[in-house]
Amino acid sequence: MAALVERYDRTWSRFRDDSLVSRIAREPGSWALPAEAGPLLALYRRLYELSDGRVSPLVGRALETLGYDPAYSLHPAGPAGPAPRWEDALAWDGARLDTPAPVLLDVGAAGKGQLVDLVAELLADRGVRGATVDGGGDVRHHGERDLRIALEHPADPGRAIGVLELPAGAGFAASATNRRAWGAGLHHVLDATTGRPVTRYVASWVVAEDAMTADGFATALLLLPRAVADALREARWARMRADGRVEVGPGFPAELFLRPGPDKE
């Protein structure tokens, strides 16, 4: 398991100089990526299209500029601009990634969830049954019973806004702007078209077929318009607005203690 985590980190981390992502940030090239890149980049492309470019793996440079850099300086170097457009910066054929110019990737919106899935699959391959893998809010659950999860209130970690029943075999993820936040209005969820942190929504909770999908949509739901969110086929979700009201998508398997806000924006 430690070898799996180390290999994944050595490929995808933008916080270590010896990673593949750091090499891609230093020089253009054609890069052979590991097998997990296929589903990871396919999910990112889906989120990119659903969000009109607001969700993108190309926000790495903007995050660094705002202070979320390898040294964790947490001091902005200046305002961050828009991320490069996918169409200009990346070409992916299913096996190789072509980058005509150096580009800093950040797969944090879905990568941790994918690693949780890979660990869960490794345990299953080794004969472990009934395991729950928790990657700090990204969960993959295998067992005979549903798993009860309290949904943390983003303004008060000591409170829950509800309790979710996660079915066996499913994935869960949560995203919130109070996590990985380091200054007034500064946090890790950016709108790639502006380079600025999101403000309309402050938290989301998602159930999906696996943790990677749940993780990706938990981030996307802080950026997606309500009409798009309601039409999602991949995720069951709830999210909280900055004013504290809660929106709930179809079939979200939770008992909520807060009254949902109006159905439409």
Per-residue pLDDT tens over the stretch 224-251:
999 999 999 999 999 999 999 999 999 9
Q: Which residue, of 55, 83, 99, is where some domain finishes?
A: 99
Mean pLDDT of the chain: 94
- Which residue, among 222, 223, 220, has the nearest Cα to 212 in the 3D structure? 220
145 in any annotated domain: yes
Q: What is the CATH number of the domain that holds 180?
A: 3.10.520.10
Burial profile 216-254: b = 16 or more Cβ within 10 angstroms, e = fewer: bbbbbbbbbeeeebeebebbbbbbbeeeeebbbbeebeb
CA distance 114 to 120: 10
107 in any annotated domain: no
Total number of residues shown for the chain = 265
**3-state secondary structure (DSSP) of residue 225:** coil
Contact 44/56 with Cβ under 8 angstroms?
A: yes
Quick: pLDDT tens for 165-220: 999 999 999 999 988 889 888 999 999 999 999 999 999 999 999 999 999 999 99
224 in any annotated domain: yes
pLDDT at 260: 65
Do 55 and 153 have their domain in common?
no
The CA-to-CA distance between both ends of the chain, in Å, stands at: 44
264 in any annotated domain: no
Do 136 and 226 have their domain in common?
yes
Q: What is the CATH number of the domain that holds 33?
A: 1.10.3980
Do 81 and 142 have their domain in common?
no
Do 44 and 137 have their domain in common?
no
What's CA 145's distance to the chain center, in Å? 26
User: How many CB atoms sit inside 10 A of residue 129's CB?
Assistant: 9
Which whole number is the average pLDDT over 47-60?
97
pLDDT at 261: 61
Do 27 and 94 have their domain in common?
yes
pLDDT at 129: 83
Do 135 and 236 have their domain in common?
yes
- Give percent of the chain with pLDDT exceeding 70: 97
Do 174 and 70 have their domain in common?
no
Question: 């890069």: which residue's tokens?
Answer: 31
Number of domains in the chain: 2
Contact 139/116 with Cβ under 8 angstroms?
A: yes
Do 63 and 136 have their domain in common?
no
Do 92 and 207 have their domain in common?
no
Do 95 and 151 have their domain in common?
no
108 in any annotated domain: no
Query: Using DSSP, how many helices (H) and how many strands (E) does the chain show?
Result: 8, 16
Do 61 and 145 have their domain in common?
no
Q: Is the dihedral of CA 223, 167, 151, 183 positive or negative?
A: negative
Question: 262 pLDDT exceeds 70?
Answer: no
Amino acid at 72: Y
Quick: pLDDT tens for 72-129: 999 999 999 999 999 999 999 988 999 999 999 999 999 999 999 999 999 999 989 8
- Taking every pair of Cα atoms in the chain, the longest distance, rounded to a whole number of angstroms, is 51
- Which residue, among 186, 216, 212, has the nearest Cα to 55 in the 3D structure? 216
- Give me the domain span that covers residue 192: 129-256
122 in any annotated domain: no
pLDDT at 180: 87
250 in any annotated domain: yes
113 in any annotated domain: no
